[in-house]
Structure 1
Amino acid sequence: METDEYVIEAGELRRSYAGGFEAVSGITLSVARGELFALLGTNGAGKTSTVELLEGLAAPSGGTVRVLGRDPYRERAAVRPRIGVMLQEGGFPSDLTVTETVRMWAGCTSGARPVGEALELVGLGARSRVRVKQLSGGERRRLDLALALLGRPEVLFLDEPTTGLDAEGRRDTWELVRELRADGTTVLLTTHYLEEAESLADRLAIMHQGRIVATGSPAEVTASRPARIRFLLPQGVPAGRLPLALRAAAEGRRIEVRTHELQRSLGELLRWAEESGVQLEGLDARSASLEEAFLDIAQSRTHTETAGAL
């Protein structure tokens, strides 16, 4: 039975390979209708194995998965026409033109968009007569995206969609994804570009060794990590003169303060500098980025597992 609230649901999902290696170790997640959900993790974390289960490309070793209220593997015929899939790497006949490739794909797609419309969406209209083998790596990724969008999907799976794109192409793709979400498309995205996830995602999950180790909105995930204040002290002003609460890592004149109360700590620092007549060179204060939170989570988990193995 399809629900209005969630269109992707996984419960205690597992996937094992020959030899007993478990790539997905009992994860639970849900994606709401119209939401953009990012699945992050280091190489080998289990992202692609998870997404393949959600797409119905493989059967889980354990647990349950539902997409649009149905099992995407066992009820593939009912689910497939309603989803779009952009794999990490598509395989196209190299001698076909871009238009011929999309037309061939459209022949296998229910309710396909016009070929020209699909190519314009991804910025390939001017390359329609070019053979696939003559496309750049970034242009091939755009072609992958055009094919994923052909059937006007209700749910769109994007596996590393901007790999190989230049900065302009990446931003154009982000804008297209935002427009799709605004039109009601539910998007599940995997990416190694953490700025991409931070900019696009409503919610995200971070995977490590087959498990979800953090989940929430980008702001919620980064909020658990300390903000950072950096500055240079003038010559002759030792770090020991700083207020006790602000004394932190010092390398010569260079100071770095980590804090969970950025506004309070920054205010205290500026008051001290004003009262002491100290000029803070290169003052930079910022909340933790998703990249910092991601690296912190990955490193702390690795250290914990290494210590436990000793």
Structure 2
Amino acid sequence: MTTRLDARFAATASENRAALVTFVTAGDPDHATSLAIVKALPGAGADVIELGMPFTDPMADGRAIQAGGLRALAAGATLVKTLDLVRAFRESDDATPIVLMGYYNPIYAYGVDRFLVDAKAAGADGLIVVDLPPEEDEELCLPALKAGLAFIRLATPTTDDARLPTVLTNTSGFVYYVSIAGITGSATPDFGVVSSAVARLKRHTKLPIAVGFGVKTPEHAAAIAAGADGVVVGSALVEAVRGSLDANGAATEKTVSAVTDLVSALAAGVRRGRAAA
């Protein structure tokens, strides 16, 4: 069966361009505004949506996404509400893939079997769980695949050829290449190094390769899009949310457009990337 992720990456490939994968945190800065942002992303140019599951100890994330998660939690975000958000999005959009991204602890607390049933029923398409290595596939990865959810694995600059087959085993949907060694949003990647890394990954897998961490501007997006199948932007979008809030940290009339304006610019960059290559 062709999944939403398969269909979307096939569609962007047929257009000879990379997919724009956008990350936002569920419930940031509040549930209603977060839902409005997510609903507006496809129209602004997002091809795939990564939806962050707020967690109190996001070890792989930089300050921007950490702060977004804390804003969401302070506004009452829970895993139940995150799935409610996905369900509400699906009422008007049955085509755009949604990938839930986060950490294992909230899923474990929710109950793995219950979570997988509820996530699939809500309309999620895949999972990225950054703190579960391949050696722990029986914990979540294999049950997720059985439930019909893609399990997207991260490859990093330190994932050598000896380790890569282990990382790619059971990976589905796409491979997320982390373009820098470190936390999200902490540095600008070396685009030449990234291009070589993507080419190496493509020798090992037929899955689409999406590149993220450190992509902030349309120019960055264009540079990555020249060789990758997808460009992931997260911290810059979460920062756009933060920059739109009032003095009390509440959403304003500019919050949704602050995100969608940046997404539109990034989408234009992504479309330029392959043409310029």
Whether TM-score is above 0.5 comes out as: no
Larger Rg: 1
Normalized per residue, which structure has more strand? 1
TM-score between both structures, scaled by the size of structure 2 = 0.31
TM-score between both structures, scaled by the size of structure 1 = 0.29
Larger relative contact order (C-alpha < 8 A, sep ≥ 6)?
2
Normalized per residue, which structure has more helix? 2
